[in-house]
Structures are given as structure tokens and as C-alpha cells.
């Protein structure tokens, strides 16, 4: 396979998988319980939202696999424009792998009540201590999502910096990525607490990442046109 064919295949892989990642990120779970919920409140909450939790777990599993493919395709494109170095493409790969791992970990935590529920979707055999532990697992999953803003920001940052250097993505998209990366990294300071500006930055980073992935995917599918390497 020629270099041009490999680049086109990588562009197609990243573009298609990125669209899947975006769609998976659109799926949201049920509203969280307030802190200090009793075991009975946790039971009613979980039993009433098992279907929503199931769809969320499925979306996270899809996002895990699709993001891995997205990163593979992007890294192939980045390496073609980063000769002879590998710093930014390696940084993007590490950030992408850790972000995908956070999807897998969160899906595993969210799946626990699905596994524990009986055939009728009930959790009646479990005592209050066990049910409160399930609520703690849910909050642990939220913390995983907060911490994942760091590798997510590093992924976007590495791709954007190389895009500015090699022009394998439009300049406007590279600058957009820098804004999303900065918001993701700055928002990590809040780690889920209400700290005003930092919490707002975290929200920008979260929703901005989904939009950035979609924008990159569309560009790679309709704009990318390296004949034999970066322009």
C-alpha cells in the first residue's frame, strides 16, 4: 500500500470512528441522587433507572472502542507530518488511550447494579449498606470522569499543536482545539466541586471535546487531501 493510500485509510478510519465517539458522548445517564441518600432511596433510584444506566454503559463501551480507533487513525496521520520526531503523536496516543480507559472504567462501575439486579430489575435482596456502597461506586465513576479531563486535554492539545505546524487540519480547527484543551486542563482544578470559573471551564472542556471530535471527523472525511504527505 502506498503512502497516499495509507493516509487516506487513516483519515477514513479516524473520521468514521470519531463520528461514532461523538454520538456515544451524546448519551447521558439519569440525574444523580443527592448526597446522603438512604438505602431505600438508592434502591428506588437504581430500580427506576436501570434502562437508562444500561444505555449509558453501552454508550461508554462504544465510546471506548471507537476512541481507540480514532486515536489510531489520528496517530498515523500525525506521524506522517512529524518526521523525524514523535513527541506530539506519542502524547496524543497516550492521552487518547487514557481517555478511552476512563470510559471503560466508568462503564465497569456503572454496570455493577445491572449485574446485581434480578431478572425483574429488582434489588430487594440487598441491605442498606450494600445499596449505599452502590451509590458510592456511582460517585467514584463521576470522579473518574473528572480526572479524565487531563488526558482528554492532552490529546486535543497534541493534535492541535501539530496541526498548526504541519497543516494536516485547518488552522481554525487547530485554534479551536487549543481553546478546548486549555478549558479541559484548567477545569481539572475543580474536580467536580463548584469553584466558579474552573467549573465553567470544565464544562466547556467536556462539551467542547465532543464538538471538537465531530469537527475533526468531518474535516478528515471531506477536506483531508494529502497526496503523499502533509502540505
- Arithmetic mean of pLDDT, 149-173: 90
pLDDT band at 116 (very low <50, low <70, confident <90, very high): confident
66 vs 100: CA distance, rounded Å? 9
pLDDT at 196 > cutoff 70: no
Question: Which one has a higher pLDDT value, 178 or 86?
Answer: 178
pLDDT tens digits for 82-94?
766 678 889 999 9
What is the pLDDT, as a whole number, of residue 217? 94
114 vs 123: CA distance, rounded Å? 10
What is the pLDDT, as a whole number, of residue 176? 92
- Average pLDDT of the chain is 82
Long-range contacts of range 203-206, CB-CB < 8 Å, 24 or more positions apart?
204/179, 204/180, 205/149, 205/152, 205/153, 205/180, 205/181, 206/149
What is the pLDDT, as a whole number, of residue 227? 44
- Return the half-sphere exposure (C-beta side, CA atoms, 13 A cut-off) of residue 184: 27
Per the CB < 8 A criterion, the answer to whether 99 and 155 are in contact is yes
Per the CB < 8 A criterion, the answer to whether 103 and 89 are in contact is no
- Output the DSSP codes for 16-78: HHHHHHHHHHT---PPPPPTT--HHHHHHHHHHTHHHHHHHHHHHHHHHHHHHHHHHHHHHHH
pLDDT at 192 > cutoff 60: no
31 vs 23: CA distance, rounded Å? 20
pLDDT tens digits for 44-66?
888 888 888 889 999 999 999 99
- Cα 229 to the center of its chain, rounded Å: 28
56 vs 126: CA distance, rounded Å? 23
- Arithmetic mean of pLDDT, 60-79: 93
User: Taking Cα atoms as reference points, which of 135, 175, 177 lies closest to residue 156?
Assistant: 177
What is the pLDDT, as a whole number, of residue 214? 94
223 vs 63: CA distance, rounded Å? 24
What is the pLDDT, as a whole number, of residue 225? 55
Question: What's the DSSP call for residue 147?
Answer: H
81 vs 85: CA distance, rounded Å? 9
Amino acid at each position: 500500500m502506498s503512502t497516499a493510500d495509507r493516509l487516506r485509510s487513516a483519515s477514513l478510519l479516524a473520521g468514521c470512528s470519531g463520528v461514532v465517539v461523538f454520538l456515544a458522548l451524546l448519551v447521558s445517564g439519569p440525574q444523580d441522587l443527592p448526597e446522603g441518600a438512604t438505602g431505600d432511596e438508592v434502591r428506588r433510584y437504581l430500580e427506576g433507572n436501570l434502562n437508562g444506566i444500561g444505555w449509558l454503559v453501552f454508550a461508554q463501551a462504544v465510546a471506548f472502542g471507537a476512541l481507540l480507533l480514532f486515536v489510531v487513525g489520528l496517530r498515523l496521520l500525525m506521524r506522517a507530518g512529524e518526521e523525524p520526531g514523535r513527541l506530539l503523536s506519542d502524547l496524543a496516543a497516550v492521552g487518547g488511550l487514557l481517555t478511552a480507559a476512563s470510559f471503560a472504567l466508568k462503564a465497569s462501575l456503572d454496570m455493577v447494579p445491572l449485574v446485581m439486579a434480578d431478572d425483574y430489575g429488582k434489588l430487594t435482596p440487598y441491605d442498606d449498606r450494600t445499596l449505599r456502597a452502590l451509590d458510592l461506586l456511582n460517585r467514584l465513576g463521576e470522579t473518574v470522569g473528572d480526572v479524565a479531563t487531563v488526558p482528554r486535554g492532552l490529546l486535543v492539545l497534541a493534535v492541535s499543536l501539530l496541526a498548526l505546524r504541519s497543516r494536516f487540519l485547518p488552522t481554525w480547527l487547530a485554534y479551536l482545539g487549543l481553546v478546548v484543551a486549555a478549558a479541559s486542563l484548567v477545569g481539572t482544578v475543580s474536580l467536580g466541586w463548584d469553584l466558579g470559573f474552573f467549573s465553567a471551564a470544565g464544562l466547556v472542556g467536556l462539551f467542547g471535546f465532543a464538538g471538537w471530535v465531530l469537527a475533526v471527523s468531518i474535516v478528515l472525511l471531506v477536506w483531508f487531501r494529502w497526496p503523499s504527505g502533509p502540505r
